[in-house]
Structure 1
């Protein structure tokens, strides 16, 4: 097999509405997930001689890697059975930051495995991705999607009017599971009726001229993330001071982003002196 490469884009949640916990322990969600140009770089190639299983090389990330789990899932679902493979991951997306880096790596691993198997448009990927996690599904075909269910249902959304996102990296890590537990403790979930109403509002706002619905940009998990990581508060204030029309936490945090409508947004980087890694990113289209 030849050496194959792919990008694994990060994401921001333009909105995230949290529903009640289901019988399987997962929460119902309604979220607009936007892939952005900040991306990890993934290489798939045969593992060195002597390797007994698939492996991942990813500097700075320890423990089991979801991208290797994705390869195992693809093998099990399809019968693809080459010798052990190596995934080399050049991390650009911060870890445990609410930008879906690990999930996007897994989605890219699925795309690479399908390409290596000679079926780059393999429809079975849609069945494999939900087994790996909600963000894997939304990043399987990076762009703008409406995510529902517990994240396993995604619908592509037509590109909206131009906008950019200012990403501010908060130098902490948050466990997604811990943030959801804190959300439960704080009673942040919406009823089924409320969640369904929010979905209808979003779908209605995305029809017609597809303007960015600023009034709907909201994250129900934000109070939980802020409770666990108070440094988020200053980052939100900095995004607003830099000129963002909306500033919110991405996913389970702690990354903060600001929304700037238009093709050539004016960003006051002087307001971001405490955040040297802050950068303006373009959204990706499918």
Structure 2
């Protein structure tokens, strides 16, 4: 957006993600891990609204809103500060987050808020940032933030921030079971390191079977190919997730896995009707706090 400030406010809608492959390499000297991370954006959304203000302020409403930090450590606030500093201005903006992506759920809710705030502030302030500039700022904010900006499907390498967009045919139907509490991503990676302390962990590579399944739009092929190297660590820290995974499989899911670092669990369905049935059975099972259906891929951060 190149014109100067013409908006009273700007709202950006940003999707959640599920990892259909998350391969994790050994810990690097900087504490991060190299990844082969295949993201798929799915239709659960946060909406970020930015409005001019006297000073930077963050508010939040929606499920789990009480768990969202409202200080300058919030990724949305950090995004506004980063863009403002780059363009020599004050981050004087009120950021309001309408939250519908689970908090600390392994679906990149915080990253979505960072990407959404960055795009919204760019439009509000008329800074005219290029896509490459926005992606570089996203990468500085966090490993998953660049994907929240672009959406669709992509392979993330490095620590997940270096993206290659992927071709996808058709739509994949998912059911997500939200856990009654969150999991810290750093804690899950620490547990991954602990569990693999004596193992020879290979460098991560993208699964050709996953890429082919996405390109062909075949949910059966994708179900066989999905993987998440963080799942054992998430289950170690949150053993009850095994009951949720079992309930979804019993309900007819083609596959069941922990989404990213968890604790949200993801279930791939053969079609929309099957997803409705799986969601109903999961709700009745009492193994999760709430259950949602969503489709993917969907676009990334979008001004609405």
Q: TM-score, normalised by structure 2?
A: 0.84
How big is the shift at 1:228? 0.5
Measured in 1, the distance between the counterparts of 2:125 and 2:100 equals 27
1:253-274 Cα shifts (integer Å, max 9, x gaps): 0000100133543524234311
1:81-123 Cα shifts (integer Å, max 9, x gaps): 2561010011111211111101100000111122123326543
Measured in 2, the distance between the counterparts of 1:164 and 1:150 equals 27
Of 51, 56, 59 in structure 2, the residue corresponding to residue 57 of structure 1 is: 59
How big is the shift at 1:214? 2.3
Q: TM-score, normalised by structure 1?
A: 0.89
Of 3, 14, 23 in structure 2, the residue corresponding to residue 17 of structure 1 is: 23
Measured in 1, the distance between the counterparts of 2:290 and 2:207 equals 36
- Taking the TM superposition and a 5 Å limit, the aligned residue runs for 1:33-182 are 33-47=39-53, 51=54, 53-58=55-60, 59-60=65-66, 61-62=68-69, 63=71, 64-79=73-88, 81=89, 84-118=92-126, 119=128, 121-182=130-191
Aligned to 2:302: none
Aligned to 2:243: 234
| Count of paired positions | 277
Aligned to 1:3: 9
1:37-69 Cα shifts (integer Å, max 9, x gaps): 11111110012xxx4x32211241235311100
Contact 1:37-1:281 within 8 A present in 2 as well: yes
Measured in 1, the distance between the counterparts of 2:230 and 2:200 equals 9
1:280 aligns with 2:293: yes
Which sections of structure 1, spanning at least 5 residues, go unmatched?
none
Contact 1:242-1:272 within 8 A present in 2 as well: no
1:150-202 Cα shifts (integer Å, max 9, x gaps): 1111111112333211000011111100000000000077312xx23xx2525
Of 29, 37, 41 in structure 2, the residue corresponding to residue 31 of structure 1 is: 37
How big is the shift at 1:205? 2.3
Which sections of structure 2, spanning at least 5 residues, go unmatched?
1-6, 300-304
Aligned to 2:208: 201
Structure 2 residue matching 1:36: 3-state secondary structure: strand
